[in-house]
Amino acid sequence: MPASRFYALVPAAGVGARSGADRPKQYVPLAGRAMLAHTLAALAAVPRLAATLVVISPEDDQFESSVPGFDAAWLARCGGATRAESVANGLAELTARGASADDWVLVHDAARCLLRPEWVERLIDACAPDGVGGLLAFPLPDTLKQAENGRVHATVDRRGKWAAQTPQMFRIGLLAEAQAHAGDAVTDEASAIESLGHAPLLVEAPLENFKVTWPADFALAERLLNTR
C-alpha cells in the first residue's frame, strides 16, 4: 500500500469584510508582497507537502498579479460563499486530481501569513500517526469575559481553553464526510470533525500564528515580517 501523501489546501475566496482594506485582505501588501504570497511561501518551504491547492473565487482577477510565479495548475476557481463551501469544493478538486481518501490535507487560512515551515512540520509529525488528525492551537493565557451589551456579563474559566489556529490536518476522506455532515455553518475543519464524534489533537503553536483580521492586525503583521 503506498504511503499517504500530504497536501495543503488554502481557501482564499473571502472578501475580508472586517479588515477595512480596499481589496480582499489576502491581497493587501505586507513587507513587500501580498499577504497570501507570504502564506504560500511558508507552505512551499515544507518538503513533505506534495502540493498546495489554492481555492479562489471564480470572479477573482487579482491572484496572478499578486502572487506571481505560483503554479497555475494548482489554482482552483471554485470558491464558495462560505469557508466550509470553499474547503468542500477544494477537497473535491484534490480528489479529482488523484488524491486518495487516505491522503492527508492541511487546511490553512490565507490570512495566517506569519506561518513558519517548522510549525507545519511539527503538526505533521504529531498527526501522521494519529487516528483522527489535529490542528495547531494556542493555549489561552488571559482571563476571559463573557460580554452583554458592552459590559461584563460573566468571567469564563480559561482552564483548558485553546484558540484554534491553522493548518488543521485530517484525512481527505474523513474531512469530506465531516464537512457534508456538519454543513456550511462550521468555521473550521476541527468543528466538522467534532460533529462526527471525533476529538482532534491539539498541537501547540505560538501566538505569532495569528489570523490577520482587524485593521490594526496589518501593521502588527508587517512589523513581525520585517523583523524576521
Domains, the chain, ranges and CATH?
Answer: 6-226 (3.90.550.10)
> What nine digits make up the cell of 116?
513558519
pLDDT reading at 79 higher than 70: yes
pLDDT in tens, 194-228: 999 999 999 999 999 999 999 999 999 999 999 98
Q: Give the pLDDT score at 47.
A: 97
Average pLDDT, the chain: 94
What predicted TM-score, i.e. pTM, was given to this entire model?
Answer: 0.94
Could you tell me how many residues make up the chain?
228
Identify the burial level of 163 via C-beta atoms within 10 angstroms of its C-beta, where 0-12 means exposed, 13-18 middle and 19 or more buried: middle
Q: Give the pLDDT score at 113.
A: 97
- Give the 3-state secondary structure of residue 201: strand
Residues 90 and 11 sit within 8 Å (Cβ to Cβ): yes
